[in-house]
Chains A and B, each alone.
Chain A
């Protein structure tokens, strides 16, 4: 396994654009901490985001994993191109001729994206811990470490999303087209989501039972948007006579759905590689 990771590391780290994107991603991830510095001080209106409770344990786990999740597109570019470049440089052919099995080839890619996800999760864990400990009113161990299932959800979400990227890279073989395809897929899912919601919610309220199985939707479902959970947002809603009552929790079946998609995408990637002549 280390050998496969090492092989992939040599390929990635010597590619300047991959290196820059990976570094940019981790720098941006770290810069979540800068949100703490958002501070308006315009005469009577004083606003300091860090004091609005977004850095309170355990809410901070939810908030940070959600924000960090939006940065995954940086790595998506790296992952799609690390797959597609193997085709355009025909190095995949040479790798196989040199004695890498097709299974090992897919495994090396999957291990690499899992490593990306794991390192990201560790990053988010450490940053969140530091931010929370410096800004949260509540630093008892019980509060600090509750809701950490968001970290697990974050990890699973990244692995799932990266697996789609790998699959698209193999399927389309051109990085730009694969990314375009990913976007088109996203749009199609959103349209289907809208249609289903519109059609079904009129009669019954269980449209989510269908949409939660969509691959991209299932991944974004893992960590729901945290803004409406914030005290300030709830206050605001109350003033206009609304009350937010969403379910923010990470459910086990949501994780299972994403894991199922992950295994399917990896399996399909392998099948595709096996079936194709190079």
Chain B
């Protein structure tokens, strides 16, 4: 698989504060990555370093296996970090024209990308007249001008209204479905869960996890169960070898699995033992639950 970005032992200190601490991960072509972490966990700093605007304290990174210098590599990257930054007095079209000049690419695609983000009819309006959602969409259009090898988005829905958030998400999904590698930094878990296949979880500059979303915690998922006779159900579960733990909340029994088991096999087994269910769902932990579990583990360890 082709490596797009690899980061090794990256550290950034702001005085006594360590924003990024000995961080290493790699980005492979074709995946959609999420960098997850609460505010101040070092997401933007990490992206800033790889994008040539923040100087690392130690460690290194390289783009495309280190074949080109960073600024040449960035011409093949599309990135927006934090707020969309454009020249306020210039029209959308002219701003994009300037980006084309910087990236050394032809200006043919400007209209196409403006169309993609739904701003074609506003192409001659000045940037300063745009709403935040429109600015963010213009930034995405600008990042896509060179049909990038990787699209880097830092908190793309930050500060947007629900409609704006929905538009941006639909756009990201659309771009991801075309096979573009995406790196999405966010503290919004459902956002990452909806579009990402892989995650890097950061906390206080440390990496907690790197890998596919569904393997974040070693879990076989859990059953949500309801029965007319919950006590009998609980007694049965307590002696079941595949169940490691149970929880009851508002009459809903949650049974965590020790080993994988299908819902139908489990149902059959219960009926065989005289327990009839009124509700049965096999679920995997949501990203939020996984994330909390991961960070909780760390808190416990401390």
Chain A positions near chain B (C-beta within 8 angstroms) = 3, 6-7, 10-11, 14-16, 89-91, 93-102, 104, 274-275, 277-278
- Cβ–Cβ contact A7 & B54, under 8 A: no
Within 8 A of A (CB), among B68-92: 69-75, 77, 79-81, 83, 85-90
Q: Please determine whether A278 and B53 come into contact, CB atoms closer than 8 angstroms.
A: yes
What 6 additional pairs, Cβ within 8 angstroms, besides A15-B90, A99-B77? A10-B90, A90-B85, A94-B86, A96-B52, A101-B69, A274-B55
Contact A98 B85 (CB under 8 A): no
Within 8 Å by CB of B55, from A3, A97, A277, lies A277
Count of A-B residue pairs with CB < 8 Å: 83
A89 to B83, CA, bound (A): 11
CA distance A104 to B86 in the complex (A): 19
Q: Does B99 contact A (CB under 8 A)?
A: yes
Flag if B103 contacts A99 (CB, 8 Å).
yes
Distance to closest chain B CB from A238 (angstroms): 57
Task: Name A's interface SS.
Answer: helix
Query: Which residues on B sit within 8 Å (CB–CB) of A16?
Result: 89
Query: In the complex, A14→B71 CA distance in Å?
Result: 26
Q: How far is the CA of A89 from the CA of B52 in the complex (A)?
A: 18
* A89→B87 CA distance, assembly (Å): 7
Q: How far is the CA of A99 from the CA of B86 in the complex (A)?
A: 15
Pairs of residues from A and B, 5 with the lowest C-beta to C-beta distance, nearest first? A99-B75, A101-B71, A99-B74, A94-B85, A90-B85
- List the A side residues contacting B79 at CB < 8 Å: 97
0/1 interface trace, chain B 87-102, chain A, CB 8 Å (1 if under): 1111000100111011
State whether B83 touches A91 (Cβ < 8 A): no
Cβ–Cβ contact B48 & A277, under 8 A: yes
Q: Is the CB of A99 within 8 A of B72?
A: yes
Considering the chains assembled together, what is the distance between the CA atoms of A275 and B54 in angstroms?
A: 9
What is the chain B residue whose CB lies nearest that of A101? B71
Bound CA–CA A91/B74 (angstroms): 16
How far in angstroms is the closest Cβ of chain B from A38? 39
